[in-house]
Amino acid sequence: MNPLFKPKLIAGNSNKPLAAAIARRISIHRGEPVELVDIRVERFNDQEIFVEVYENVRGEDMFIIQSTSNPANDNLMELMIMCDALRRSSAARITAVMPYFGYARQDRRSKARTPISAKLVANLLTVAGIERVLTMDLHAAQIQGFFDVPVDNLYAAPVFALDIAHHFPDLDAVTVVSPDVGGVARARELAERIDADLAIVDKRRAAPGEIASMTVIGDVRDRVCVIVDDICDTAGTLVKAADLLVEHGAREVHAYITHGVLSGPAIERVSASQLKSLVVTDSIDPTPTTRAAANIRVVPIAPLFGQAILNISNGTSVSSLFNSKTLGPIYEAFYPSSSES
Residues marked as catalytic: 203
How buried is 251 (Cβ within 10 angstroms: 0-12 exposed, 13-18 middle, 19+ buried)? middle
Q: Are β-strands 61-65 and 296-299 bridged in parallel, bridged antiparallel, or unpaired?
A: unpaired
Task: Judge contact between 26 and 309, C-beta under 8 A.
Answer: yes
- Give me the sheet containing 151-154, strands edge to edge: 8-11, 61-65, 93-98, 132-136, 151-154
The phi and psi torsions of 198 (rounded to 5 degrees) equal -125, 140
Secondary structure of the chain: what % helix, strand, coil (to 5)?
A: 35, 25, 40
Task: Judge contact between 234 and 269, C-beta under 8 A.
Answer: yes
Distances (CA, A) of 298 to 286, 302, 304: 8, 12, 14
